[in-house]
Chains A and B, each alone.
Chain A
Amino acid sequence: MQEVKWRRLPLNSNYAVAYAVKDCDVDVIAAYPITPQTTVVEKLSEFIANGELDAEMIHVESEHSALSAAIGAAAVGARTFTATAAQGLELMHEMLHIASGLRLPIVMTIATRALSAPISIWCDYSDLMNTRDASWITLIASSAQEVYDSVIQAYRIAEDPRVLLPVMVAYDGFIMSHTYEPVYVAENPEVIREFVPRRKTWLTLDPDKPITLGPIANPDWYYEIKYQQVVAMEEAYKVIKEVDEEFGRRFGRSYGVIEKYRIEDADIVLLTYGGLFGTVREAIDAMRKRGINVGGLRLRLWRPFPAEEIIESVKGKKLVIVLDRAISYGARIAGPVALELMSTMYRMSEKPEVLSVVVGIGQRTVTEEDIAEITALGMKYLEEKRVPNQTIYWGVRA
């Protein structure tokens, strides 16, 4: 096996995606411009035009068509890619279910962005959280390097015959999509291509053996077909961990399904996802210096939800503060991850308190001071034994 040679480049997360897609030798890309995703496809157009990537680029007229075109290409066996954000992801919503229902291993990246109305081009996770039940495997990265590595892992996961589900890799719009970081990319992409070998693992259209994809399923079979997606998600959970471990052995970087930061001896755990975890880590270091026993957990895998790992990590803790960057309107616990965590913890005999906090909506800045103040508030609630059973909307001018 050839050794990988790394090249250290200054890349933002959008360009990190483009390099990963190139290194995975994708065949068909279909996309529509939308801020803050657009430079992903611009870079890929450049790679294709310069002959660095042998792929077809389809300049479709909407995101609905972008995913439709990717579905068509995947249905004939092509390795496909698309990328979007916010309204684009919403416009794709119908096709999200088609892609997963047809069990096509499409990979898509999301530079997360707040939803209209009112129009906001800035970051939060309301677009991604709206796709929760679409049967897509969903990874959320927190650095440009992890974005690059996750896109590569995504093809391996999606195309695994035990899985055959589409994969989304999400990261903060602007905060990550437009911020440059040092990223190691393979100088010899053959090595990456060896890691994601071309295998025809999924059912495709073939004139020699004609089949029909996606016809009507009546009440006698629809349920069983959808149940296969449930099983595939369960299988995916194992595969995601396997692939990440193998990636680590091969390339020296792995991430797990959750990332832990100074939680071993912590009483209080801050749980969040995406680029915000960087701020949380800094805040934890500062609070630790002041003698506060606090640690951090980052959700890297959103679907399938890493229940066992989460339960294991929060066991024996006094308080978990969940920082969500999306709102589930009308829910008492309105942070989507907080809600998920609480339902996951329901059967635990001795469980920590959970404080659900909404932050960073429409990219309202979240500073280390905010994190420290939120932690202090959580500690106060804990001490007074009155952790509220409803979400705190941090910093809102209500």
Chain B
Amino acid sequence: MSSKIELPPTYKDIEDLIRVDRLPTIWCPGCGIGIVLKTLLRAIKKSDIDVDRHVIVSGIGCAGRVSGYVRLDSYHVLHGRAIPFAIGIKLAKPELEVTVVSGDGDIVGIGGNHFIHAARRNHDINVVIVNNMIYGMTGGQVAPTTPRGARTTTTPYGNIERSISIPLLAIAAGATYVARWSVLHVDHMMNSFIKMFRHKGFAVVEILSPCTLFASRNGIELLQLYEILRRKCKIVSNPDPWESHIDIFGDKPIILGEFIEIERPSYEELVWSSIRG
């Protein structure tokens, strides 16, 4: 079905980690997920963890397709269930570095309860949430992360609901590393990915990623959405999670940074130490 794709030279360093035979990706031109994938693969290379020990788990949605494009052990599971699947892997084989990559709808929408309880138990897994603020794959319906006022196919005159703030939710639930960047902040994203691999405990990295459908439903060009991110994103050191709410069309800045980085015994450490006595 797909014609043979050759990767440009800039992909040389990660070519061995991409399933070139699966390209082109299903992502729309201009989508941010490709940037996340590229950065994640570079971070895996720099992680000091053997590539063979890395596992990628994803749920359903555009970001969920990441697992199909990586030449690593990867699992594409049910909608919302990437986190429990990842926990199972980590408990059975603690030596593996398990990373969930999925979208906002998958992880804090339909899978929200798993996210809360995995954070509470501080499972030693990594969760990369590509937040495009909409259900993109199904054509642009309102999601729990859709900012108030935004138009979607199911809120044609604007969303009236308050959106979830991922950093605030993650911290409240017990996550021990939480960062937020956008696809325009590749270096920061890379550092956070490397940190999350090293971190012992539940690490959450939220990446704001412009969606072409989100833009078109709101009557703007995709590039304008990138411009909004460029203009509004503000990197703060030790940001206040209470200030992390995203107000995409308003005046308030979108706060980026590392919201929390603390040490607390992970579930795996506790469970293995109790078994070993």
Contacts and interface: CB of A to CB of B under 8 A. Distances in A.
B109 A41 contact: no
In the complex, which of the residues B60, B79, B142 has the most CB atoms of chain A within 10 Å of its own CB atom?
B79
Interface residues of A, number: 20
B78 A62 contact: no
Given A33-B139, A35-B138, A45 B110 contact: no
Given A33-B138, A38-B138, A49 B79 contact: no
A42 B109 contact: no
A32 interface: yes
Nearest to B112: A61
B165 interface: no
B156 A61 contact: no
In the complex, which of the residues B76, B137, B139, B154 has the most CB atoms of chain A within 10 Å of its own CB atom?
B154
Given A32-B110, A59-B161, A61-B110, A45 B155 contact: yes
B141 A59 contact: yes
In the complex, which of the residues B110, B144, B156 has the most CB atoms of chain A within 10 Å of its own CB atom?
B110
Nearest to B64: A119
A228 interface: no
A42 B110 contact: no
Interface string B142-159: 101000000001111100
A62 B141 contact: no
B161 to A, nearest CB: 7
B109 A62 contact: yes
Report the contact-size class of chain B (Cβ under 8 Å from the partner): 20 to 34
Contacts of B110: 32, 61-62
Contacts, number: 48
A41 B76 contact: no
A109 interface: no
A34 B138 CA distance: 6
A57 interface: yes
Interface string B40-63: 000000000000000000001000
Nearest to A34: B138
Interface in A76-133: 87, 91, 116, 119
Contacts of A39: 139
B68 to A, nearest CB: 9
Contacts of A42: 139, 141, 153-154
B154 A57 contact: yes
Contact of B139 (A38, A50, A57, A91): A38
A187 B247 CA distance: 42
Given A41-B141, A42-B153, A59-B161, A116 B109 contact: no
Nearest to A37: B138
Interface of B: 60, 76, 78-80, 109-110, 112, 135, 137-139, 141-142, 144, 153-157, 161
Given A49-B157, A87-B78, 11 more contacts: A32-B110, A33-B139, A41-B141, A41-B154, A42-B141, A45-B155, A50-B156, A59-B154, A61-B109, A87-B79, A91-B79
Nearest 8 interchain pairs by C-beta: A33-B138, A45-B154, A62-B110, A42-B153, A33-B141, A49-B156, A38-B138, A61-B109
Interface of A: 32-35, 38-39, 41-42, 45-46, 49-50, 57, 59, 61-62, 87, 91, 116, 119
